[in-house]
A and B are shown apart, each in its own frame.
Chain A
Amino acid sequence: MIPPLIVSEALSRQIDLIAITDHNASANVGAVIKAASDTGLTILPGMELQTREEVHVLCLFDTLEQLETWQAVVNATLPNLENNIEHFGEQFVVDETGDFIRREPRLLLTSSSLTFNEAWQGVTDLGGLFIPAHINRRQNGLLANLGFVPPEIPIEGLEISRHISPEEALKKYPFIKRYPLIQSGDVHLLDSFLGSTHFTLEAPTIAEIRLALKGAGQRTVTIHPC
């Protein structure tokens, strides 16, 4: 997706906060942040990490510097495999206008050797927010791969996919009741923006989202059906 089109599509849907979370990658995040500058849209720099257990997790940060530090950690834990474009598709890096800069040669569609718990520690130490992604999905969902939410780490929120409502998710997995839920679009195409999770925040920051997940003060997180 081309950065300026991501920004205009989000704005046209009255969305004012999105996160860019490529698979084990972040090389395009800066371009989207630039494309959104001077608009009302806030871009959270992030990544969708695939852990050793093949669990997908959203790693969300406030700054590109934090994300770059995290990317370096992840790079050191990815296997040295070359992307096969025929099988896995292109991995383009573009600028803020969408112009081609380079191809990422390394295969990104694979697992880091970081365990789920190690990744939680790393993201948290950097001040980031660690949210297991599409936990209900058969492919790469936390609940399929690890059976349940690891009780030994204080997970701050869980993301459910667009294919299930919060009510259905709680009915199917009653043990997730103690965790705040968000729902994201896992948007791969411009026409699939979801925007069903509404945050009431004092500012669009990780600290505020963290407080909202705890229900602190007037802050709220609610999922509205699409």
Chain B
Amino acid sequence: MTLQDIIQQLNLTVLTTPVDFASVQPENGYTSDLLSCVMSGAKSRGIWVTLQAHMNIVAVAALLELAAIIITEDAQPDLATIAKANEEGIILLSTAQSSFFVCGKLWEMGLRAG
């Protein structure tokens, strides 16, 4: 399963500059809105599902080398955060759906916890 499949099936909005999503293959999934938990719990090359949109999410994703962040419930990162993500090569995706819904869909598609 590629990030391209995930974006299509979950109808996600791409917030950062598009890259070749078909070449990105997420290996696992994680969800939490407490960044301290994410820093110790999320695995590299995973997808992180959260409703946090603060700029700190970019640094956390860069630190852990995550495949992408899916920001849920229409939480909107500001322009500085999106610019920072582009700078760091972090993919930001968004949806109006809840974290529960997104995780359920990802699980159905075969993604598992790390």
A and B, one complex?
Answer: yes
Contact of B34 among A115, A145, A148, A152 (CB under 8 A): A145
B34 pairs with A150, CB closer than 8 A: no
Q: Would you list which residues of chain B between 11 and 62 have a CB under 8 Å from chain A?
A: 33-39, 52-56, 59-60
Q: Is the CB of A117 within 8 A of B55?
A: yes
A130 at the interface (CB under 8 A from B): no
**Does A154 lie at the interface of the complex (its beta carbon under 8 Å from any beta carbon of B)?**
no
- Is the C-beta of B108 less than 8 angstroms from some C-beta in chain A? no
Q: What is the CA–CA distance of A150 and B35 in the complex, to the nearest angstrom?
A: 12
Contact A115 B80 (CB under 8 A): no
Q: How far is the CB of A176 from chain B (nearest CB, A)?
A: 13
Bound CA–CA A147/B35 (angstroms): 5
Count A/B pairs, Cβ under 8 Å: 38
Instruction: Give how many A residues have a beta carbon under 8 Å from the other chain's beta carbons.
Output: 12
Report how far A148 CA is from B40 CA in the complex, Å: 13
Q: A117-B55, A147-B56, A148-B35 are in contact. List 17 more A-B contacts (CB 8 A).
A: A53-B52, A53-B54, A115-B53, A115-B78, A116-B54, A117-B54, A117-B78, A143-B36, A144-B36, A144-B37, A145-B34, A146-B54, A147-B35, A147-B38, A147-B60, A148-B56, A150-B55
Size band of the B side of the interface? Answer: 10 to 19
B interface residues with partner A (beta carbon < 8 Å): 33-39, 52-56, 59-60, 78, 80
Binding site for B on A (CB under 8 A): 53, 115-117, 143-148, 150, 152
Q: How far is the CA of A10 from the CA of B94 in the complex (A)?
A: 49
Could you tell me if A150 and B36 are in contact, using CB atoms closer than 8 angstroms?
A: no
Q: How far is the CA of A53 from the CA of B59 in the complex (A)?
A: 16
Whether B54 contacts A150 by the Cβ 8 Å rule is: yes
Chain B: minimal CB distance from A122 (Å): 14
Chain B residues, Cβ within 8 Å of A116 = 54
- Top 6 nearest A-B pairs (CB, nearest first) are A147-B35, A146-B56, A144-B36, A147-B36, A146-B35, A147-B39
Cα of A43 to Cα of B39 in the assembled complex, Å: 39
- Please, which residues of chain A bring their CB within 8 A of the CB of B78? 115, 117
Residues of A close to B56: CB separation below 8 A: 146-148, 150
A115 to B34, CA, bound (A): 15
Given contacts A115-B78, A152-B80, contact A144 B54 (CB under 8 A): no
Of the A-B pairs whose beta carbons lie under 8 Å apart in the complex, a sample of 6, sorted by A's number, is A53-B52, A115-B53, A115-B78, A146-B54, A148-B35, A150-B55
Nearest-neighbour CB distance to chain A for B42, whole angstroms, equals 11
A117–B55 alpha-carbon span in the complex (Å): 9
Known A-B contacts A115-B78, A152-B80; A145 and B55 likewise in contact (beta carbons under 8 Å): no
Cα of A189 to Cα of B17 in the assembled complex, Å:
52
Chain A residues in 8 Å Cβ range of B38: 147
With a cutoff of 8 Å between Cβ atoms, the chain A residues found around residue B60 in the complex are: 147
Q: What separation, in Å, do the CA atoms of A148 and B59 have in the docked complex?
A: 10
Return chain A residues, CB-CB under 8 Å to B36: 143-145, 147
